[in-house]
Every structure is written in structure tokens, then in C-alpha cells.
Structure 1
Amino acid sequence: MKMDLRRPLKAKNLKVIDYINRLYATFDGSSLWEIDKSSFEVLKMCDGTRTVDEIARIIAKKIDMKVEDVKPTLLEILKELEDLKFIEYVSL
């Protein structure tokens, strides 16, 4: 699998709310999107300093799996987060 050096960054105005053990993302409170725990954990790592590969390594180590097994699911999550405008990719 080729290296992915893109750096995802969480949208500055995105807020995540924990309400009755469910997670919701919102920009201004007028619209809510329910997000799962896995997506939330990925979103927390999208600080603009870590590359996609670095995030994959962190997750793989945390759940004791190989990076190449983690990365396809991570890429799906990042694509969904990007489509929703929850993240964007930045360069240093």
C-alpha cells in the first residue's frame, strides 16, 4: 500500500456533543449528525500535524492489528468525514 502523507485537520467550527451516550457533530447547532465512536476517535487525531499513515499506525498499535489491515477502514472513515466537511487536508 502506498504511503499517504496527507494531513487531515478537523474543521475549526465543528463541535462534537455527547448526549445520552450518543455522539453528535454540529457546526452551529441547527443540524446534527450522529457519529460512531470509531469516527470520533479518528476525528480527535485530525489535528493537521499527523499524516494519514501516522494515524493508521496509532490505531493499529492501539487495537493490535497490522497497519495494512487498519488503513482501508481508516480511509473510508476519512472520506466520509471529508464529504461531510468535518475535515480538510492541509500541508505544513
Structure 2
Amino acid sequence: ARRGIVVCGSGVGACVAANKFKGVRAGLCHDTYSAHQGVEHDDVNVLCLGARIIGESLALEVASAFLGAEFSNEERHVRRLNKVKKFEEGLSS
């Protein structure tokens, strides 16, 4: 799976910008739970971090959780992801 990590002061601006690209599902995460669950449940493919919010050690833990996670492919998560994709396709037409 292709993934990316973007960083800015709060992480918010980087997340807003990343989500403007088709196919990007960026999530702002400041803890390991959000990082792995975002991938497992919502197929997040870009991790956004706030450099002024979390320290280097936690940032590395969050990035590791994000990179080590895999999308669950559970029916309810696939269904939700397909709804998001349809919405995205509708906006681009």
C-alpha cells in the first residue's frame, strides 16, 4: 500500500491540503490508537502530524502504528469507504 506522512505546526493545514488530492484519505493523528484505527477502519493513506503538538518520540510511535496497520476489509468498512469514494467521484464531475 502506498502511504504518506505530512507534518506542519498543528497538522491541521497539512491535513486540509492533503485531502484536496483525489484518492487521498488523510487523517490527523496524535496518538497510536487513531493512527492504526484510521488505517484499519477508514483506509487512511496519509498521516498528518503536528510538530508543535507532539514530541519526536510520540511522533515516531504514531508513524510506526500508521505504517504497521492494514485495512481490515471488513464489510462495514468497505461499504463506508465505497460511500466516500462515490462522494469524491461526484464532486469531480
**TM-score, normalised by the number of residues in structure 1:** 0.28
More strand by share: 1
Structure with the larger helix share: 2
> What TM-score, normalized by structure 2, do the two folds share?
0.28
With CA pairs under 8 Å and 6+ residues apart, which has the higher RCO, 1 or 2? 1
